[in-house]
Amino acid sequence: MFWPQQSFESLKTAVLSALNKNASFYDHNIMGLPATYLDPHIFPADADFLSNAPFIRSFIENPNHIGLHTYDKSIPSFHGTQQLELDLLRICAEEIFKAKPNSYDGYVSPGGTECNIQAVWIFREYFKNKFGALQDEMVILFSEDTHYSLYKVCNILGLKYKVLPVDFNERKIDLDILNNQIKTLKNSGSLYFIIVLNMATTMFGSVDDIESISQKLKAQEIQFKIHIDAAFGGFIYPFTNPKSLLNFDNSVVDSISVDGHKMLQAPYGTGIFLIRKGFIDNVLTEEASYVEGLDHTLCGSRSGANVIATWMILNVHGSHGILKRMNELIEKTNFLCDSLTQLGIRFFRNKYMNIVTIRSDDISKEISEKYTLVPEKHEQNQVWWKIVVMEHVTMDLIQRFLKDISIYSTKHSEMNSISI
Ligand SMILES: Cc1ncc(COP(=O)(O)O)c(C=O)c1O
């Protein structure tokens, strides 16, 4: 994995030159598009700082990246900044997720939810178009730790689903149950399977074991497609675990989603959807006849500025810079976990991830609230609290938290020994 670090100045020049290649609402003859620059009362285009703020400049210019640019044609007015999107997709698909050049399609969507919908939508249509699959012959499988967006996906797309249980402590999908589940589904007429695997679940940071899961799927001789939800983990796990198998080098992986607005510190609205070539035409909306190149995406209009923000972040650090940042987070997480172990506090953590999920019996609700930990459920009997070690979670903050819980755990064990 390698892409070079670039100076802010050179990125600024590249963005301004890309904007210059776009047709600008300010000085081009644009009469047919249902769009314009942002409202000048709130977003003045002549503010002094704009010449040094390429993202804000792009934001105000408001390019619309509607359509798919990895395809043969797309709307020419925003051709300049579409090239930056192509470069962003190249970095993600080829450098981070090991795709071969020109072997993928993709786009920058509003977020992880849309990427998950887009993936399952494509595979549903693929099974219909290629095999004549009926709606109730298709089923989606995912673990109980999978993000709630999958329930939206099943509801919107009218597909049935099965939730795979995980081991309480290890957070791993139970392979025997998976096997039996597939047999039962086959016996009741399911022929086509869409499997969503996690490159880091939202609550635990657990990563599904694609090798053993795909072996089980292959052994059952079923038609299946695998989507990787890397919305949270996609900008950390491939860096911290170079042996990751959740990428396009692995022939069972068909599509991947990753959010810039999580680990990359990009603005909201930067979900990146990637899929192997040959599938996306299943969701081509031919009726989008006024859009040059038509439309393959769920959202339609989408922000070119968000693409630029994500592209700039990746390039201002380069691959080595991102690796360094992610390793720093892992070191802070290691320190937190070692200290929790010394205090006898139970937790789950994948060693390549920056999420630590603590048993709620082991820390007080007051401390969890004081440090804004996130509960598994907002209910009385919830059993886990999670910490996500992000950039703003400093060693100082971790140490204050540890001090507070060590006082609580001393008091707690004293109370326990009195009650005994
Ligand atoms: C694993 C995972 N998938 C999907 C999503 C949904 O992402 P978004 O909120 O960007 O739609 C999240 C959000 O936390 C997530 O953690």
Domain co-membership, 278 together with 129: yes
Closest atom, ligand 1, to C-alpha of 198: 1
State how many domains the chain has: 2
Closest atom, ligand 1, to C-alpha of 111: 10
Domain co-membership, 254 together with 389: no
pLDDT of residue 410: 63
DSSP state at residue 96: I
* pLDDT mean for each 10 residues of the chain (420 residues): 97 97 93 92 92 95 96 89 98 98 98 98 98 98 98 98 97 97 97 98 98 97 97 98 98 98 97 98 91 92 97 98 98 98 97 97 93 86 92 98 86 57
Domain co-membership, 365 together with 258: no
Distance 70 CA to ligand 1 centre (A): 24
Report the half-sphere exposure of 193 (CA within 13 A, side-chain side): 29
**Protein residue with its CA nearest to atom 4 in ligand 1:** 112
Domain co-membership, 242 together with 287: yes
Closest atom, ligand 1, to C-alpha of 146: 1
DSSP state at residue 332: H
Domain co-membership, 326 together with 285: no
Distance 113 CA to ligand 1 centre (A): 6
Identify whether 44 is part of a domain.
no
Identify whether 11 is part of a domain.
no
Identify whether 205 is part of a domain.
yes
Domain co-membership, 139 together with 221: yes
Closest atom, ligand 1, to C-alpha of 112: 7
Lining residues, ligand 1, CB within 6 Å: 111-113, 147, 149, 202, 229, 231-232, 259, 271
Q: Are strands 355-359 and 160-164 parallel, antiparallel or unpaired?
A: unpaired
Output the domain CATH number for residue 153.
3.40.640.10
Distance 317 CA to ligand 1 centre (A): 24
Q: Are strands 138-143 and 253-259 parallel, antiparallel or unpaired?
A: unpaired
Q: Which of 266, 301, 336 is the last residue of a domain?
A: 301
Domain co-membership, 291 together with 327: no
Domain co-membership, 273 together with 178: yes
Distance 202 CA to ligand 1 centre (A): 7
Chain Cα centroid distance, residue 108 = 11
Distance CA 64, CA 77 (A): 9
pLDDT of residue 138: 98
Domain co-membership, 153 together with 286: yes
pLDDT of residue 414: 64
Domain co-membership, 234 together with 191: yes
Q: Are strands 104-109 and 271-276 parallel, antiparallel or unpaired?
A: antiparallel
Distance 158 CA to ligand 1 centre (A): 21
- The preferred substitution site among 232, 264, 298, 386 for testing ligand 1, maximizing ligand atoms within 8 Å of CB, is 232
Output the domain CATH number for residue 344.
3.90.1150.10
Identify whether 12 is part of a domain.
no
Distance 262 CA to ligand 1 centre (A): 9
**Protein residue with its CA nearest to atom 7 in ligand 1:** 112
Identify whether 420 is part of a domain.
no
- The preferred substitution site among 118, 143, 144, 147 for testing ligand 1, maximizing ligand atoms within 8 Å of CB, is 147
Q: Which of 240, 272, 301 is the last residue of a domain?
A: 301
Distance 201 CA to ligand 1 centre (A): 9
**Protein residue with its CA nearest to atom 14 in ligand 1:** 202
Identify whether 418 is part of a domain.
no
Query: How close are the terminal C-alpha atoms of the chain, in Å?
Result: 57
Q: Which has the closest alpha carbon to 246: 215, 255, 105, 147?
A: 255
Identify whether 185 is part of a domain.
yes
Identify whether 202 is part of a domain.
yes
- The preferred substitution site among 196, 258, 259 for testing ligand 1, maximizing ligand atoms within 8 Å of CB, is 259
Structure tokens at 372: 């804004």
Radius of gyration of the chain (CA): 23
Distance 403 CA to ligand 1 centre (A): 32
Distance 3 CA to ligand 1 centre (A): 26
Q: Is 34 exposed, middle or buried (0-12, 13-18, 19+ CB in 10 A)?
A: exposed
DSSP-based three-state secondary structure for 308? helix
Domain co-membership, 324 together with 220: no
Domain co-membership, 256 together with 330: no
pLDDT of residue 411: 62
Distance 112 CA to ligand 1 centre (A): 5
**Protein residue with its CA nearest to atom 5 in ligand 1:** 112
pLDDT of residue 420: 43
Q: Residue 92: which domain range?
A: 65-301
